[in-house]
Structure formats: C-alpha cells, structure tokens
C-alpha cells in the first residue's frame, strides 16, 4: 500500500525537478565538458531524491534499503561537483584533475563498501519524527564524513580558480561557486550532524528540502545565465516555469499537511473524549485503550481491536511518564512491541500507533488511547494523493502543452526572423519574412523588412553611381586640388593656433610646492605633437599644479596638488586645461598670496575649491568637462583630504607594495550632471609613503607582440605592477610605461613623497652621500621650484664636485640645462649620469635630442637606438631616430623606422612631414 505524506511530496518534487534539469542538460548538443559533468551531477541527485521518495511512500521496514541507492548517489554526485569545479569554465590542471578524482573514487568505494556492511549487519528502526524506516545514526557516519571532505575539496578548487581568474571570468565563477556552496553545504553538514546524533531526522528533512528546491532553482538560473552552451529560448521559459511551479507546489503542500495534521489531532481527540465520556468506541478509529488508576500498579485494557494485543508493561511505563510530564491531549508516538520479541525486533507498521493521554478526574485514572499509525497516514494520503496528481498534471501541462502553445506565437516567428537574418548575411536582399503575430516580434519582423528594403535601395543607388564614377572623378580631382591648397593654408593657421595655445597653457602648469617634507614631481606628455615654423611643441588636456597653504592659528602648512584631464582632443582638451589651470591658479593666488593664513578648515577649502571649479565648468553646458584629483596634505602629520572627480584612482606605494586608494567611483567629472553628492575622501600617509596621481594615459596603452596587431590594455592592475617595478623613481616609472607599448592618450603623473629619508630621485644609499651634500641637493630642488635657477645650478655643481658619483644631481642638472635649451652642458651631464646608470631610456632619449640639436647625428642615432631596444613603440623616439637617419643620408633605414611610427600614429605631423621629406628623396 502506498501512502503520501509531506516528505513524500517534497522528495517527489525534488525528483521531478532534478530529473528535468538532467534531461535538459543531457539533451544539449555539442555541449561543453563541464555541462556533461553538471548533467551527471543532477542525475545522481535525482537518484538521491527518488530513493527518499520510495522510502517515504512505503511505511514498511524494507523501505530502509533506500540507503543502498541514496548513499552511493550522494558520494558520486559530490565527486562530480569536484569534476565540475575543475572543468568550469575550463580545466587548467588536467593532470591534477586525474589524480585527485582518482583518489576521491578510491575513497568513495571504500566508504560505500563500509556503508553496505553497516546496512546488512544492522536492523532498521522506525523514526516517528521523520515518518520513515531508517537505521541508527551511526550507520553511514563514515560516508557522511567523506561527503564533507569531498565538499571541502570542491571549495578549495573554486577558491583557487577565483583568485587566479581574470576580471571577466571571476564574476561568473563567484556566482556559480556561491550557488553550489550554499546548495550543498547545508544538506551535507546536516547529514553529518544527523549521523552524530546532534539533530533529528525531521530537522534534516526540513533543511534538505528547503535548500534542495531553492538552492537548485537558483543554481540552475545561474548556470543558464553563465554557460556558453547553446540553449533555446523555449527551453529557458519552460525550465524556469516548471521550477517556479514546483517551488510553489512545495510551499502549498507544506501548508496543507500542517493543516491536515492539526485536523487529525482535533478529530482523534474528540473521539478519545467521547470514548472517555461514554465508554463506547463505535464509529471511531481507536485501536486500543488502556487505563491506569492513580492508586493502582496494574493497567487495564478498556478496548482493543481485533488482532491487536497491547503490551501492558510498555503501556504502564508510558502512562506514568506522560502523566508525570503533564503530556495530555497531545499526539505522542507509541510502538507496541509484542511481549515475546527479540532485542533487535523490527516493528511492523501494525505495531506503530499515535496515542493521546486523557485524565479522568472522577475515576482518578489516566487513559492511553491509541490510533493506528497507518490510519494517520491514510488520513493524510486522502489529500496528498490529490496534491501529487495535481503536481504531476501541472508538470505535464507545462512540458507538453507549453511548447504547443508558444510554437506559433513565439518560436516560429523567432525562427523565421533568424532565417531572414541568415539570408541577408548570404547577400539575399530580396527576402521578406511574413508577419505572423502583431506583437513585439511582429514589430521586429516589420522593422527587419523595412531595413532590408532600405539596404537594397541604397545598393541600387550605389550601383547607379558606380556607372557614372569615371566622369565624376575628373570633376572631383579638380575640386580636391583646389581644396588641398585651401586646406594647406588652413593647416598653417591651425598650427599657429596650436602653438599659441601651448604658450598659454605651459605657464599654468606650476610646481610651486616648496615643502621639503612633502615633495612633488611632475611628468607631462601630451599626445598631440605639431611643428610650427620649425618649432616642435605639443598640446593636450592634461595639467599638473602644486603649491602650499597655511591654515589656522597654528599656521599649519599643507601641500596642495592637482592632476586634471580636460575632455576632448587637441584644441578642445587644451582649452579645458587652460580653463582648469587658470581657475586653479586663481584659487591658489587668493588662498596663499603674501603668506596669507586661512581661517577655514582644510576640508572646507577642498569643498569650496570643488564647488568653484565645478561651477566654472558647468557654465559650458556639457561642452567642456574635466576629470581631476585635488587634495591637501598636512606636511607634519600626513593627513590628506582630497576628492576624485571621475579620474583614475590614486596609487599608494608603501613598503614596495602598490595599491589603489579608492575602491569605487565617488564623484562625476567637473561640469558634469551628477547623481552623487560631494564627498571628501581622507587618508593618512606614513613616513616613506609615495603617492602617484595620473591621467588615463597611464593605462591607455596599445600593447603588441608583432608590431602590427594592436591591442588596447584592459588590465587595470598593470599600472600597480609598473609602480612597484619602478621602486619609487618617477623617471623609471615613465620609462617602464613607454616600454609596455605606444601611448594612446595624454600622460601626466604627479609623484608625491611624504617624509622620505632621501630625495625622491636619489637611488644611492644614504651612507654613500654625506648629509651636507644631500641638503644642497634638496635646497637646489626647492630653488628650482621658485625659479631661482642660477643659485640652484651652483648648489648642484658643488654637490657633484663633492660626490662625483651623485647621479641624481647629474640627472637634475642635465634636465635644468635641457629646459633652458643649453644642449651642450645638458649633454655632458646626461652623459655623466649614464656612466653611473646606463639603464634609463628616458635619459638616453633626452641625450639623443641634445646631440641632434648639436648636429652630432651619429651619436644621436646611437642614443635613440638605445631607447628603441627597450621602448620600441615610443613614437617621439621613432620620429627622432628616423629624422637622424635622414640627416645622415641613410634613407632606407629612415623609411623603415618611419613605417613603424606610421603604424602607431600615421596622422602625427612629424610623421607626415618626414614622409614628405623622404618621398622628395625618392624613398
């Protein structure tokens, strides 16, 4: 006889659910290996649920043998979890996979064999709370421990993959891993707790069903959304509909069973009270009734059904226990073990009862009134069998009728539209697809027909135009010649505008910071290069500014820094940089003029500066915007207040490890409408910390291996590694950025050092340079920031006279003469530096430019070749090298180098000018 209860319906729903998913995944064609593993996983989970279902509907001792199926299925299912973890999204450790899975299979065979031995050497027991024949809790404990161990192996595999995955794969891996871990961890752990006697089987059932249905529903959705296997739209609709209906069916059956159990108690208690009051049991379901007087030790059988012989010894014991506990009118499980039975006797369903205890105060006695357990199951089955029928019918309707219903309204129109797209891809522009339904898909079909008609009309006109092309070419040639002459005159005018703009923008990029405790260094390289009247220059939207302010009565000194990037190319970006520079220098002039002490807090100053800059840019109505980082640093404490208006995140170098200061976007660009409220960011710098603020150019790098196929860098962490490799040296950082590939945007960097033991560009050990020499070097840098160049040069030359190996001083002195266009002394100091440290492409480049201005073209070429060996995509160096070869008469080499430059930026004015010069020589 079959009886359905809540546990039976739950496991049936789980069985249907997992089998449908298994069938769906197994039916996929050309599926990935991880999908095959996932489908087999669901097959084993189906076996587990089906085994539980069989044990629930048959309330007989033989149902306990479900463990022969559920145990191995659980073990092999968990192994396939590990296989899936290895394979998804790809297997990078095939050899390790074979060894690990082989070991797990060996362990599983041992645990399954031991589990079978326990099953055949122990007798089953009946668990009233779980309403199932099962074994003692110790049976299967080793298997439960193995499941947990296998699960931990899977989690280890997942965590390792997540750590090593790239950004695109990590999101899918995290989602799938969390879904699998939540779905499996609770049932596996609760199974182990059940075997150890910590929880009851009823508690295990509730945890298992809850996490099985909701967990697998979530896991299936995650898998469908992240798999690369081809699935149909209809399959997704049906699958999600079935899963949703089954979840609601489970919830509904749980509520109905709780109501029916309460109703069973209500009816049984009424029958028991009627028997107590009348002594009659006709029409009731009472199996037997036993009474025990308060002053008697001998229980008395009041009534019993045919074939039932109450065990009075057990009845007396139970009456005394429940009377003492006051357990009256509550359903209590009772096992009526026959008087003559062995110690390992397995009770049959006819020995199982639900009892209610009643007090007879008049008769001074306690009654035990028992109802057959099978009667209880039959009572629940009357409703549950209908629930099962309705659930199966619902699944049948969805699986069979849904495809039929949606075929005409959804599937056929979509397939027709897809076929039409395929015909157009093959060149058939006369295709017209029928509009089968007047809905969204019908609208798409009509739009598709109109689009194809427009393309056909355009192609027809193009063919007509091609027939008269030769006649139009002659007329156009004359027109183009006239336009080219006009464009040339405009180009000269444009370059003049560029040159004037560059002259306006350079004075705005001021490094006025005079603090010896908070040092600032700039590097600015604009992308747009041009030549005007034989003068090379550049313009762009990047800008750097620094300075100092005094706050409060204590006159605390704070260092100001700003790194900005105005949006737009060439003139538009340069215009934005001029606006930002002018506004910021004006703010600094008002705040720091003549030793002014500000009576507002640093936070308020940053807030007011943001508002003023943002208001200025907002007046352009979105035509001009800028990203920026503006901040203040207390030169004594290292406290930093700043804001980041949609600029690349600041990078901190601390103890040789680089990291981002920000983790999320907090503010939109200056002049941009924003949904975010202004927020000041805070950070505490420690002595020795180095901070880098930079524009997009630090990340926008074209990477290449063969010099022809360019790939834009997409690794946001590449700059962190570059900062670490540079070991705090700004020149070395710029060199390494150039060595990665070709810059595709303006590049500006501010290096901020806080309480460094040595000056930021000094790489020599402190013990090798006397303190007096270091002080001269530091003082010279401060004087350079104050434009007192003559005194600074004297101090640097004195430092080098004292310590000729002081390469940082040589580097700085060479840069000073270079900026003053005194190329002869500049080249000597750069040569001195390179004698001490030959691995500096940036210095080699500057030396090459010096040699070129001195007309030492051979030396200039050799220095430029040094740069090209480590930075083959540095455009300025390629142009410089090609021009040197041209001046040396090595035209073929010059053309070869120029072709490499053209592959990076063929529209660069320097490239185009060189191209014209080489063509005039026949190359």
The 10s digit of each residue's pLDDT in 614-654 is: 999 888 888 889 999 999 999 999 999 999 999 999 999 99
Residue 332, number of CB atoms within 10 A of its CB: 17
Residue tagged 């087999």 (tokens): 40
Structure tokens at 891: 């035209």
Decide: 359 and 366 in contact? Cβ < 8 Å: yes
Residue 761 pLDDT more than 50? no
Q: Which of 495-504, 526-535, 615-624, 875-884 has the lowest mean pLDDT?
A: 495-504
Helix (H) or strand (E) holding 537: strand 535-539
pLDDT score, position 759: 45
The 10s digit of each residue's pLDDT in 768-815 is: 688 788 888 878 877 776 677 888 888 888 888 888 888 888 988 998
pLDDT score, position 469: 64
- Rounded Cα gap, residues 321 and 336, in angstroms: 16
Instruction: Give the C-alpha distances (Å, rounded to integers) separating 671 from 442, 493, 566, 668.
Output: 43, 30, 10, 8
pLDDT score, position 875: 85
Which phi and psi angles does 276 have, rounded to 5°? -60, -40
Please list, in sequence order, all residues whose beta carbon lies within 8 angstroms of the beta carbon of residue 306, skipping any fewer than 6 positions away. Answer: none
Structure tokens at 96: 């390790």
Mean pLDDT of all residues in the chain?
A: 84
pLDDT score, position 92: 83
Structure tokens at 408: 């005409």
Ramachandran region, residue 537 (left: φ > 0; alpha: ψ -120 to 50; beta: rest): beta
The 10s digit of each residue's pLDDT in 69-114 is: 998 998 999 999 899 899 888 888 889 999 999 999 999 999 999 9
Residue 526 pLDDT more than 50? yes
- Rounded Cα gap, residues 331 and 265, in angstroms: 7
Decide: 811 and 784 in contact? Cβ < 8 Å: no
Which phi and psi angles does 283 have, rounded to 5°? 80, 0
Q: Parallel, antiparallel, or unpaired for β 597-598 and 542-551?
A: parallel
- Rounded Cα gap, residues 456 and 465, in angstroms: 14
* More reliable by pLDDT, 13 or 762: 13
Decide: 733 and 691 in contact? Cβ < 8 Å: no
| Confidence band of 710 (pLDDT split at 50, 70, 90) | low
pLDDT score, position 762: 43
Strand order in the sheet with 626-634: 597-598, 542-551, 556-566, 626-634, 639-645, 681-684
The DSSP output letter for 65 is: G
Helix residue ranges per DSSP H, 367-425:
373-396, 402-406, 412-425
- Rounded Cα gap, residues 28 and 235, in angstroms: 11
pLDDT score, position 865: 92
The 10s digit of each residue's pLDDT in 864-917 is: 999 888 888 888 889 999 999 999 999 999 999 998 888 887 777 788 888 888
Decide: 42 and 22 in contact? Cβ < 8 Å: yes
Residue tagged 């989602």 (tokens): 175
Closest among 463, 494, 646, 665 to 567, alpha carbons compared: 646
Is the alpha carbon torsion for 860, 861, 865, 868 positive or negative? Answer: positive
pLDDT score, position 727: 87
| Confidence band of 490 (pLDDT split at 50, 70, 90) | low
pLDDT score, position 188: 80
Cα end-to-end distance, the chain, whole Å: 98
Please list, in sequence order, all residues whose beta carbon lies within 8 angstroms of the beta carbon of residue 514, skipping any fewer than 6 positions away. Answer: 548, 782, 785, 786
Give mean pLDDT, residues 448-476. 71
Residue 496 pLDDT more than 70? no
The 10s digit of each residue's pLDDT in 316-358 is: 999 999 999 999 999 999 999 887 777 778 899 999 999 999 9
- Rounded Cα gap, residues 631 and 645, in angstroms: 11
Structure tokens at 899: 């072709």
Residue 265 pLDDT more than 90? yes
Give mean pLDDT, residues 256-264. 92
pLDDT score, position 32: 83
DSSP string, 733-754: HHHHHHHHSEE-S-EEEEEEEE
| Confidence band of 242 (pLDDT split at 50, 70, 90) | confident
| Confidence band of 760 (pLDDT split at 50, 70, 90) | very low
- Rounded Cα gap, residues 805 and 317, in angstroms: 101
Residue 863 pLDDT more than 50? yes
The 10s digit of each residue's pLDDT in 714-743 is: 888 899 999 998 888 888 898 888 888 888
Residue 479 pLDDT more than 80? no
The 10s digit of each residue's pLDDT in 680-708 is: 999 999 999 999 999 988 888 887 655 55
Decide: 500 and 530 in contact? Cβ < 8 Å: no
The CA-based angle 671-674-678, given to 5 degrees, is: 90
């Amino acid at each position: 006889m079959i009886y359905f209860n809540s546990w039976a319906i739950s496991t049936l729903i789980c069985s249907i659910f997992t089998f449908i998913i298994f069938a769906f995944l197994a039916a996929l064609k050309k599926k990935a290996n991880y999908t095959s593993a996932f489908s087999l996983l669901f097959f084993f989970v189906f076996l587990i649920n089906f085994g539980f279902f069989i044990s629930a509907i048959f309330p007989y001792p033989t149902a306990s043998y479900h463990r022969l199926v559920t145990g191995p299925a659980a073990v092999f299912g968990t192994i396939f979890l590990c296989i899936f973890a290895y394979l998804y999204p790809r297997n990078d450790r095939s050899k390790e996979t074979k060894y690990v899975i082989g070991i797990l299979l060996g362990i599983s065979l041992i645990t399954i064999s031991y589990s079978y031995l326990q099953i055949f050497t122990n007798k089953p027991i009946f668990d009233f709370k779980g309403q199932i024949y099962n074994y003692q809790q110790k049976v299967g404990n080793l298997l439960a421990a193995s499941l947990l161990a296998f699960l931990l192996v899977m989690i280890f595999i997942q965590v390792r993959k997540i750590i090593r995955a790239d950004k695109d794969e990590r999101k899918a891996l995290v989602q799938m891993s969390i879904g699998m871990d939540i779905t499996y961890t609770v049932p596996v752990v609760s199974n182990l707790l059940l075997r150890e006697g910590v929880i009851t089987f009823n508690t295990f059932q509730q945890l298992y069903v809850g996490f099985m249905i909701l967990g697998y529903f979530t896991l299936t959705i995650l898998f469908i959304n992240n798999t690369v296997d081809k699935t149909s739209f209809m399959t997704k609709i049906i699958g999600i509909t079935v899963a949703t209906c089954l979840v609601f069916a489970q919830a509904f059956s749980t509520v109905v069973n709780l109501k029916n159990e309460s109703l069973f108690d209500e009816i049984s208690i009424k029958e028991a009270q009627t028997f107590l009051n009348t002594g009659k049991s006709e029409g009731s379901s009472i199996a037997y009734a036993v009474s025990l007087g308060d002053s008697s030790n001998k229980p008395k059988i009041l009534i019993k059904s045919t074939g039932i012989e109450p065990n009075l010894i057990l009845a007396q014991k139970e009456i005394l226990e429940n009377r003492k506990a006051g357990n009256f009118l509550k359903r209590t499980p009772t096992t009526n073990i026959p008087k003559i039975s062995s110690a390992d006797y397995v009770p049959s369903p006819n020995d199982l009862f639900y009892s209610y205890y009643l007090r007879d105060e008049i008769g001074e006695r306690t009654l035990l009134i028992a109802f057959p357990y099978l009667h209880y199951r039959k009572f629940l089955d009357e409703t549950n069998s209908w629930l099962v029928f309705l659930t199966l019918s619902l699944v049948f309707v969805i699986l069979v009728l849904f495809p039929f219903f949606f075929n005409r309204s959804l599937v056929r129109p979509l397939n027709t539209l897809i076929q039409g797209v395929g015909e157009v891809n093959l060149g058939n522009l006369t295709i017209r697809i029928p509009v089968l339904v007047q809905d969204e898909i019908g609208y798409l079909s009509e739009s598709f027909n109109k689009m194809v008609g427009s393309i056909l009309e355009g192609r027809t006109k193009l063919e007509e135009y091609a027939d008269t092309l030769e006649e139009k070419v002659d007329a156009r040639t004359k027109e183009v010649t006239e336009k080219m002459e006009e464009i040339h005159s405009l180009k000269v005018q444009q370059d003049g505008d560029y040159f004037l703009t560059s002259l306006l923008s350079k004075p705005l990029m001021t490094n006025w910071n005079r603090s010896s405790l908070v040092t600032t260094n700039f590097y600015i390289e604009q992308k747009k290069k041009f030549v005007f009247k034989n003068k090379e220059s550049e313009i762009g939207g990047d800008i750097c500014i620094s300075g100092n302010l005094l706050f409060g009565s204590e006159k605390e000194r704070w260092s100001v820094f700003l790194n900005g990037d105005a949006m737009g190319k060439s003139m538009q970006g340069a215009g934005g940089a001029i606006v930002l520079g002018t506004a910021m220098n004006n703010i600094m002039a008002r705040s720091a003029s003549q030793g002014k002490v500000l009576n507002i807090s640093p936070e308020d100053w940053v807030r007011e500066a943001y508002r003023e800059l943002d208001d200025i840019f907002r007046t352009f109505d979105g035509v001009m915007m800028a990203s920026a980082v503006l901040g203040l640093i207390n030169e004594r404490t290292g406290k930093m207040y700043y804001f980041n208006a949609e600029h690349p995140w600041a990078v901190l170098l601390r103890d040789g490890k680089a990291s981002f200061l920000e983790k999320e976007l907090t503010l939109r660009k200056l002049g941009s409408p924003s949904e975010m409220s202004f927020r000041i960011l805070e950070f505490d710098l420690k002595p020795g910390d180095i901070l880098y603020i930079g524009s997009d150019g630090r990340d926008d790098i074209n990477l290449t291996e063969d010099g022809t196929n360019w790939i834009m860098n997409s690794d946001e962490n590449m700059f962190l590694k570059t900062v670490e490799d540079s070991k705090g040296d700004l020149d070395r950082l710029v060199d390494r950025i150039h060595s990665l590939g070709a810059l595709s945007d303006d590049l500006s960097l501010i290096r901020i050092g806080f309480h460094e033991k040595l000056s930021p560009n000094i790489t020599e050990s402190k013990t090798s340079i006397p303190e007096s020499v270091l002080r001269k070097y530091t003082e010279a840098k401060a004087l350079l920031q104050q434009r007192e160049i003559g005194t600074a040069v004297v101090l640097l030359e004195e430092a080098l006279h004292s310590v000729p190996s002081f390469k940082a001083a040589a580097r700085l002195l060479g840069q000073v003469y270079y900026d003053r266009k005194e190329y002869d002394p500049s080249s000597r100091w750069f040569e001195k530096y390179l004698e001490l440290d030959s691995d500096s492409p940036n210095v080699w480049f500057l030396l090459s430019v010096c040699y070129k201005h001195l007309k030492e073209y051979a030396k200039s070429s050799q220095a430029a070749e040094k740069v090209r060996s480590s930075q083959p995509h540095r455009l300025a160096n390629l142009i410089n090298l090609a021009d040197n070869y041209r001046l040396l008469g090595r035209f073929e080499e010059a053309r070869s180098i120029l072709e490499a430059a053209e592959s990076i930026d063929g529209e660069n004015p320097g490239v185009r000018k060189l191209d014209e010069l080489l063509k005039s020589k026949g190359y």
